[in-house]
Chain A
Amino acid sequence: MALDTLQRPKRKNPILRTRLPTLPPAARSRVALGLTAAAARGRFELQVCRDCGAVQYPPREVCHACLSERLVWRAQDGRGELLTESVLRHAQELFFRERVPWRVGIVRLDAGVNVIAYVHANVATAPVRVRVTAALDRAGQAVLVAVAAEGRTDLSDDAKLREMTCDPRFRKVLVTDGKSPVGQAVVRALAAAGADQLWVGEAEPWKTFAGFAALGDLPQVAIVPLDVTNGRSVRELAGEIGAKVDIVVNTADCHRTFGIAARRGIETAQLEMDVNYFGLLRLAQEFAPLLKARAADGRAGAIAWVNLLSIFALSNYPPHGTYSASKAAALSLSQALRAELRQAGLRVINLFPGPIDDDWDQLELPPKLSPDAVAAAVVAALKGSVEDVYPGDVAQDWLARHLDNSKALERELSEQAP
């Protein structure tokens, strides 16, 4: 099948019914969700037997070679050979029925197992060397994709696999706060990534920050009033543009640097919650239903929701104690949002950056993420096929410690109590 480079979609024909979203089969066993858990972080992992070293596929409870129960998930390089392929032309599943023909094949991984994978249009006819990666389908579940063995592969260059990405090219995007350094960087990165239209939220218009006014010079950008602490403001903007938005990038963030004892009263913590938690809730209540209604609106329909969380959401960082709590609340709510949006095939992507090189992380030691690095991670996440992104060394380190032993991480962080 030929490559199909993403083209600017035609405008919507208003006399035709907007299609309803269908989903690929989403049922997975608990053990098979290990594949999804890794794919959500952009990794292709398979179980490996601790006793005999055999790689397992499909995911299972005991080793297929030695019956050991000691199976652990390990990253795979995905190298292998496409042995045979087939084109699906008929399907009972509504999702595939709407999309056939669909290319699938069997790949013999060098690791020693045969896997069934979707085959990218950039792969020559079998037999041929390929690389297998994991991706998330529109149901949010892991699937395997065989791509050309060499060079960079863009899932967007395959008309079927494109739906596993949320490529911002030709999309219409709302960035909820464009005033912060990260917000400004996200707007610029999305413009460079080919977004067609960028609505950029501005709260408290009487406060001027360097660089913000210049965003208005970008041809894709429209500055719109949006204060996520003000339900009326969120509602009005949703009424005005909500039915056009394909991607929401929630950059609205209130970061103050206090623990419990270092700040009397709860006023500052309330403000953090009002922006970071209730702000997300207000946005979700107004925009999510509109996104769901357009989840199958052609090639440029609604597709994704991105939240700028923090690595502090995983485990409380006591010097920024109340901020951490508000981000943990936002993380929890984002899971509810993900559950609701997944029914329409919409993806919720969470970013968990470590300290950012801005005013509020001034006293954090490097390495700190530049706003541009955060923005690049947003764009990469949309172009790829992931749910959870931990950009930068600090975030990666915290994540590894959290996954290894979350209690130990809590104790380690408590050493830094203010």
Chain B
Amino acid sequence: MKATSKKTAAKAKTSKDKPRKGHPSKAEDGVHALLRGLVASGGVRLVDLTQTLSPDFPPIVLPPEMGQCRPFRMEEISRYDERGPAWYWNNLSFGEHTGTHFDAPIHWISGRDRPNNALDMLPIEHFIAPACVIDCSREAAVDADFLLTVGHLHAFEKRHGRIAAGSWVLMRTDWSKRTDPVAFQNLDETGQHTPGPDADCVRFLVEQRDVLGFGTETIGTDAGQAAHFKPPYPCHFTMHGAGKYGLQCLCNLDRLPPTGAVIVAAPLKILEGSGSPLRVFALLPGRQR
């Protein structure tokens, strides 16, 4: 009896899902058709903001006695061989904060008691949001320790309008163009030297602008020397303490306009996850034809 009812259910599902001949499916009628049409007509362009996950991509450096973020590694399961004749696949291992990745509020101690602070609880609406892109590429080229300040934010708003609540603020430094991992890490005896926001800048974005989060091209949302700031790692401490997010190791920010891009950044749904590598891309208004 049981088996029969199961069969019937399966049958019913199949017939329901099958698109009717000669008619577009409901999905094609709706959002998909809209997006496909926009992309095909050039009304919307897509830009990939993601670095390739590879074993050579450097992880964050911490003193060796501390816990370490495992770099991206892959071990082959089979490759059309005696281990699996017709298929190729790998086992992966990596820290949550590897490659282009997302930081959830639970990542930092300041965000540990926030509601909905881990990857499995994040509101899905947050995965699509507008972005303001602040071009710091000239400053970062001459000063690896360049800090974004409230003054820079005011200058940006003067030209491009107020940073809207609920938007990503992305700091363009062209750091992602440093394809040599040594130059990307930029370490010396005093630690890492990479650009980032200062503590007041982060506080302003959180308290005055209520942004969704902060994104960078470098290995952290904080500057390389941020361990010495007050508070240490302000972009982690203040952002996550307010339930905001982080995006790191982005690329192609030079292809985004200062405003007008929409970012799709949906991390993996990991139970109590603090972050995850993810595919990040932007939707831009297309060129006029």
Q: Give the interface of A toward B (CB within 8 A).
A: 204-208, 227, 229-233, 256, 265, 267-268, 270-271
Contact = CB atoms under 8 A, between A and B. Distances in A.
B269 interface: no
10 contacts: A206-B181, A206-B185, A230-B56, A230-B71, A231-B74, A231-B75, A232-B74, A233-B55, A265-B67, A267-B70
B30 to A, nearest CB: 43
Contacts of A270: 70
Contact of A271 (B58, B68, B187): B68
Nearest to A282: B75
B76 interface: yes
Nearest to A359: B64
B181 A205 contact: yes
A268 B67 contact: yes
Contact of B182 (A206, A227, A233, A256): A206
B82 interface: no
Interface in B173-196: 181-182, 184-185, 187-188
A230 B65 contact: no
Contacts of A268: 67-68
B57 to A, nearest CB: 11
Contacts of B185: 206
A137 B68 CA distance: 45
A229 B67 contact: no
A267 B67 contact: yes
A216 to B, nearest CB: 15
Residue of A205, A206, A227, A229 most packed against chain B (CB within 10 A): A206
B187 A230 contact: no
Contacts of B188: 208
A231 B76 contact: yes
Given A206-B182, A207-B61, A271-B68, A229 B73 contact: yes
A270 B95 CA distance: 13
Contact of A267 (B55, B65, B68, B184): B68
B175 to A, nearest CB: 14
A206 B61 contact: yes
Contacts of A205: 181-182
Interface of B: 55-56, 58, 61, 64-65, 67-68, 70-71, 73-76, 181-182, 184-185, 187-188
Contact of A232 (B55, B58, B64, B181): B55
A270 B64 CA distance: 14
A308 to B, nearest CB: 18
Contacts of B76: 231
Nearest to A257: B65
Contacts of B75: 231
A68 to B, nearest CB: 55
Given A256-B65, A267-B68, A268-B67, A230 B55 contact: yes
A271 B185 CA distance: 21
A268 B188 CA distance: 25
Nearest to A235: B76
Contacts of B74: 231-232
A355 B204 CA distance: 53
Contacts of A231: 73-76
Contacts of B65: 256
B76 to A, nearest CB: 7
B58 A230 contact: no
Contacts of B58: 204, 206
A227 B185 CA distance: 17
Contacts of A206: 58, 61, 181-182, 184-185, 187
A232 B187 CA distance: 25
B68 A208 contact: no
B187 A208 contact: yes
A74 B181 CA distance: 57
Contacts of B71: 229-230
Contacts of B187: 206-208
A362 to B, nearest CB: 11
Contacts of B55: 227, 230, 232-233
Contacts of A208: 187-188
B73 to A, nearest CB: 6
A105 to B, nearest CB: 52
Nearest to B65: A256
A293 to B, nearest CB: 20
A354 to B, nearest CB: 22
B262 to A, nearest CB: 34
A322 B182 CA distance: 31
A207 B73 CA distance: 19
